[in-house]
Structure 1
Amino acid sequence: MTRREDRPQAAELMPSETPVRFVAEDGTRVDRHAGYAEPALDRLRTAYRLMVRGRRFDAQATALTKQGRLAVYPSSAGQEACQIASALTLRPDDWLFPTYRDSVALVSRGLEPGEVLTLLRGDAHCGYDPAAARVAPQCTPLATQTLHATGLAHALARQGKDSVVLALIGDGATSEGDFHEALNFAAVFDAPVVFFVQNNGYAISVPLEKQSAAPALAYKGVGYGVRSEQVDGNDAVAVLAVLDAAVEHARRGGGPMLVEAHTYRMDAHTNADDATRYRDAEEVERWRAADPVRRLETYLTGREALSAKDIEEFRAEAEEFAVTVRAAMNAEPVLDPLSMFDHVYAEPTRQLVAQRALVAAELEAADRETQEA
């Protein structure tokens, strides 16, 4: 733990007065980046390629809900800059703690689409090995994963490792008690964790102004002694620059950091939501003008780091990726009802063993009836 006299002063914790920004809505360069280093052009090209693929993945997953192949899908269309930066800023040995809306970040980190979408199809709570992927299960309850992320970060530090944990949350999660407990613990114990708030303006249908009266959600870290920053969440250059700095801050022993990205989800909360009931078309169109994919494309084209041929190739690659997503979801899952008893406890309780035996007996009886029929 950092000694009290060594803790940063209030001014050192404060976020920038306005969101950090490198690129305006029209793709031109702006100088409002508070000294953050601009990522290299080749890295920005990679970010653009993954953003194009991520948007196509998102559209494909949304279509799969209409075909009955997914039970639900929370779109992140419009938040690609945040999703891709989250994946690119981490090392393979770092950990990512996602929410239910962060599927694009997961496939961009290298997970198979079928494994990522397992939760949303309803096959299992998690379709991948969290320990192998260094990605925690996607979290549906708001903010509960912030405590898990903080605890793991503290454990990694106690083990002498320099790995960092990145916890993804939405604006609604900052109203939850778990979020505040996680900030407090992380600050007291200097846990190497970055809390990344994707503020898309709504907690389902509740607008930000009915959630918080703070000047920005980034200021919520200051009271706990957590360094904080806010960034234009639709400016991929700025998001990557700020997250790079935040992760490095945590990795070198500077303690936790809170980053708020001002962004927008262009689609409804999920396919089961009617967003027209709480926001108007004019608002959505204003944000479409700040489209993160188009903004980065225009910027890189102006820097002569992206050609028309590159754009065509990246879009073709995204279409090929969508084919693999469809193939994975069109394959019928092989389900084992007894698997619901696995991984509940390290040592199953007597009650769990009895319940498993009861279900096994019922399945055997059903099989016999089927064979006899």
Structure 2
Amino acid sequence: MRRALVTVVAVLVTIAVAAGGALAGRWKPTLSERRTGDEALLDRSARLLTGVRHSASVCYVTDDQVRYAHFGSDERRRYEIASLTKTFTGELLADSVAREEVRLDTPVGDLLDLGEGPVADVTLQDLATHRSGLGEWGDEDRDDTLRRWWVEEVRGDTVHDVDLAEVLDRARRDPLATRGRFAYSNIGIALLGHALAAAAETDYPTLLRQRLIEPLGLRDTGLGSAANHNRPRGYTDQGRRSPPWNLGAYAPSGSGISTIADMCRYAQRLVTTDTQAAVKDGRPVARLEADDADGNGLGWYIRAGEDGPIAWKTGRTGGFSSMIAVAGDRAVVVLTDTASPVDDLVWDLVNRAP
């Protein structure tokens, strides 16, 4: 049996290497020469969007202005925004607290059927700040398979298109090995989203639409699913075509699809919203948990900046990379259809206006 498995692995590796070698001699995408928008922003962006690229959209937001730079794109081109979806779920948590539907210290087991395992006692705040102890996808041993390697590393796809019942089962079985310490967890944010929906007596897609997408006028934003066959496709960081990612019940952690216009409208709201007034009115806001030091907000990372905390988040699927950063009176959003990181560009724009 072991010998047969080794043989299978060897064959698959040979196929993967051969495919990679064949690809190396073929066309790879490069950053589009079709460029529109603010000249200064275009110039800065082009210098830092290196490596395997194709289309990209960038915006620089202040409280009274939005500047765009497009490379083979426009304001309504749709991108997978991946883990930027987590910031939406964090906003929904702040909104649910303001509505007094939940508290930050509400145990997730009060809202979801998690039995009597250790995860039932985890608070919503711990889920939002990645301190629940849950693994990245929950019950990690279940994913330690040859199939996952093939699907994710070779095809650029994901194996995590599962229903809520399986997500809950994974959570029940997870040993919470890192509880109380930061450990990035997609399943944690997924549980948070479904728990908030349960508190509101609805489902997560409806909650997101009614409380964030529609109030903010994000007309081209939604969640991707296997049932939607008209979704954008991107490229891996090696230049291969990547299929759309289906995340099933992990949707609150990474299934968002949006445009640069919508994401900049979202970012501008975060720049201009008065936090206390927004909480009082029950509107979505960015809740930051650190004033002047690195840490975590509700669905956000926090980095200390010269003028105060910077809330930021990156996102990446098999064929898309994105990032948002909100720094006081300004924000930057970058969306691309390749999986190559965009961090260098975002931090450059955050630290020095174009």
TM-score range, shorter chain: under 0.3
Which structure has greater strand proportion? 2
Which structure has greater helix proportion? 1
Q: What's the TM-score once normalised by structure 1's chain length?
A: 0.24
